[in-house]
């Protein structure tokens, strides 16, 4: 017992110290919990003071109260600025500010107006998942490195006019619920608007130097790409344009992929220049397709679906290769003689001769209907009925057969032909059983064929009375139709 007596003396003291220390630990833990992000509120002025003093700014899930105004800070902001998953209750005014390092505002919500106009982002600009509840102004902003607006949400009007993106620009899944404009913006490297959702959007005189994609993008309002310059490949595959879409005067230097795109209303490509393949296969057009004055190197419209009232305007269009079957566009072409003849030449170069013939035939038929009555119209009618303007051999064949049959029936029904008999000679047999002088229908048909093909009657048959004139007329028609048949058939066989 005596050996344990010192421990017995120390035990009460140890218990007393433990009881005194536990409240302090509890108080410290309660202090940490009071500073958890979801309950933190920081005045905007404190953040401005941190930046001015050069202190690092790194917050997550805070609430910034008051107006955040960095426009009055002199010189560039040299430290990285990180405020993620936070809320900005007041306006954010960051105009003409230079960020030397990264700016990270991912997942933050801006409840009032935001302006980054004329600001320069020398490091990465990260706005992925950010929500802009009111006006968002990035006009004349300069992004030297990559800029990320992935899944960002813009509830109010927004502007990127005259902005310059020198690094990769990512707007994947971004949502623009109001007007947005990228007028005069420049994308030096790649730009991605994949699965982005737009209301009214404007890309007027925008320049895309690198590849850009609008794959599966949704344009709920009017989409304007007027005078836009695509210097590399651009992909609009499976995009949906629910309202009007305008690409007038735009230029496409690389591949333009509009495959399976849905145009609910008029798709305007007037004055557009496609220097490479314009791929519109499996696209759906609910309105007109206007290519007036466009310059097309190669355009594919295979398996395109048109609405019942849709039309195609190729007036003054210059194209080298236009890949679409005539059966797809024939009933939708806006009449223009030069456009039709250019299509005929195009189909011949593709070796689609049936399409070329159908296109030329429709061109002549419409032209004939528009020509006033006169000798020109009458000659066109004769050309149409006799040989289908030189592209329908079946028309000439029909008239050859019809002429032979018609005159054969006339000669037979009207007894217009007789057979020669040898005078002063009695034929053996019963005279009552001898055949009559009237030829059979077979003989009449044979006589008609001979007159049509050679203008010479068979050796034992001759026309009588008025039918001599009909026989001569059939011979003249025979020479005309047979000559026409040879010419039209030769034109078909030679090609």
Q: What is the pLDDT of residues 303-361, one digit of tens each?
A: 999 999 999 999 999 999 999 999 999 999 999 999 999 999 999 999 999 999 999 99
Residues 6+ apart with CB under 8 A from 425: none
Backbone phi and psi for residue 5, each to the nearest 5 degrees, phi listed first: -65, -35
Asked if residue 290 has pLDDT above 80, the reply is: yes
Residue 152's closest CA among 169, 168, 134, 175? Answer: 175
pLDDT band at 418 (very low <50, low <70, confident <90, very high): confident
Residue 28 has pLDDT above 60, yes or no: no
Helix, strand, or coil (residue 213): strand
Q: What is the pTM of this model?
A: 0.79
> Taking a C-beta distance cutoff of 8 angstroms, is the pair 167, 144 a contact?
yes
Cα→Cα distances 213→152, 256, 272, 340, Å: 17, 10, 19, 34
pLDDT at 413 over 90: no
Q: At what angle do helices 393-413 and 441-454 cross, to 10 degrees?
A: 130
Among 15-24, 289-298, 450-459, the minimum mean pLDDT is found in 15-24
pLDDT at 72: 82
pLDDT at 25 over 60: no
* Statement: residue 157 has pLDDT above 90: yes
User: What's the mean pLDDT when you consider all of the chain?
Assistant: 88
Q: Strands, E, within 409-451: which ranges?
A: 417-419
Tens of pLDDT, residue by residue over 106-138, are 999 999 999 999 999 999 999 999 999 999 999
* Better-predicted residue by pLDDT, 362 or 14: 362
How far is C-alpha 101 from the geometric centre of its chain's CA atoms?
Answer: 40
Fold of 393-422+434-494: Helix Hairpins (1.10.287)
Q: Is-contact 322 291, C-beta < 8 A? A: no
Cα–Cα distances (Å) from 463 to 112, 158, 415, 419, 458, in that order, read 103, 92, 9, 9, 10
* Angstrom distance (rounded) from CA 126 to CA 253: 30
Question: Using only C-alpha atoms, what is the Rg of the chain?
Answer: 43
Among the ranges given (25-29, 69-73, 155-159, 248-252), the one the predictor scored with the smallest mean pLDDT: 25-29
Measured in residues, the chain has a length of: 495
């Amino acid at each position: 017992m005596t050996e344990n007596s010192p421990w017995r003396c120390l035990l009460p003291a140890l218990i007393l110290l433990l009881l005194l220390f536990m409240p302090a630990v509890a108080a410290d833990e309660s202090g940490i919990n009071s500073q958890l992000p979801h309950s933190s509120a920081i005045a905007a002025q404190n953040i401005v003071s941190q930046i001015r003093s050069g202190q690092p700014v790194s917050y997550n899930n805070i609430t910034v109260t008051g107006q955040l105004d960095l426009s009055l800070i002199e010189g560039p902001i040299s430290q990285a600025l990180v405020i993620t998953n936070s809320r900005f209750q007041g306006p954010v005014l960051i105009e003409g500010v230079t960020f030397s390092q990264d700016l990270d505002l991912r997942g933050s919500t801006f409840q009032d107006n935001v302006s980054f106009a004329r600001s320069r982002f020398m490091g990465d600009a990260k706005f992925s998942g950010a929500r802009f509840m009111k006006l968002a102004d990035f006009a004349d902003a300069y992004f030297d490195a990559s800029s990320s607006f992935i899944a960002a949400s813009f509830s109010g009007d927004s502007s990127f006019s005259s902005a310059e993106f020198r690094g990769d620009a990512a707007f994947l899944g971004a949502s623009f619920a109001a007007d947005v404009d990228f007028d005069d913006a420049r994308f030096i490297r790649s730009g991605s608007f994949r699965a982005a959702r737009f209301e009214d959007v404007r890309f007027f005189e925008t320049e895309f130097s690198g590849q850009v994609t609008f794959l599966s993008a949704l344009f709920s309002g009017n989409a304007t790409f007027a005078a836009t310059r695509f210097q590399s490949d651009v992909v609009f595959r499976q995009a949906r344009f629910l309202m009007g879409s305008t690409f007038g005067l735009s230029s496409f230097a690389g591949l333009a992929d509009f495959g399976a795109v849905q145009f609910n209303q008029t798709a305007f490509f007037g004055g557009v220049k496609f220097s490479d393949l314009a791929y519109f296969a499996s696209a759906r057009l609910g309105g007109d397709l206007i290519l007036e004055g466009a310059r097309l190197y190669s355009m594919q419209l295979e398996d395109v679906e048109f609405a019942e009232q849709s039309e195609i305007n190729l007036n003054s269009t210059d194209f080298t290769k236009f890949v679409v079957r005539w059966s797809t566009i024939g009933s939708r072409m806006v009449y223009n003689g030069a456009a039709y003849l250019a299509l005929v030449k195009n189909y011949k170069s593709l070796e689609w001769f049936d399409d070329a013939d159908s296109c030329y035939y429709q061109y002549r038929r419409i032209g004939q209907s528009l020509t006033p009555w006169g000798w020109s119209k009458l000659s066109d009618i004769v050309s149409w009925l006799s040989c289908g303007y030189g592209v329908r051999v079946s028309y000439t064949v029909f008239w050859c057969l019809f002429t032979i049959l018609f005159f054969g029936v006339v000669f037979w029904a009207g007894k217009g032909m007789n057979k020669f008999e040898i005078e002063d000679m009695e034929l053996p047999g019963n005279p009552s059983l001898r055949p009559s002088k009237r030829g059979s229908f077979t003989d009449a048909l044979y006589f008609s064929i001979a007159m049509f093909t050679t203008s010479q009657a068979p050796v034992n048959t001759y026309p009588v009375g008025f039918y001599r004139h009909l026989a001569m007329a059939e011979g003249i028609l025979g020479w005309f139709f047979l000559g026409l048949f040879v010419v039209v058939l030769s034109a078909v066989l030679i090609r």
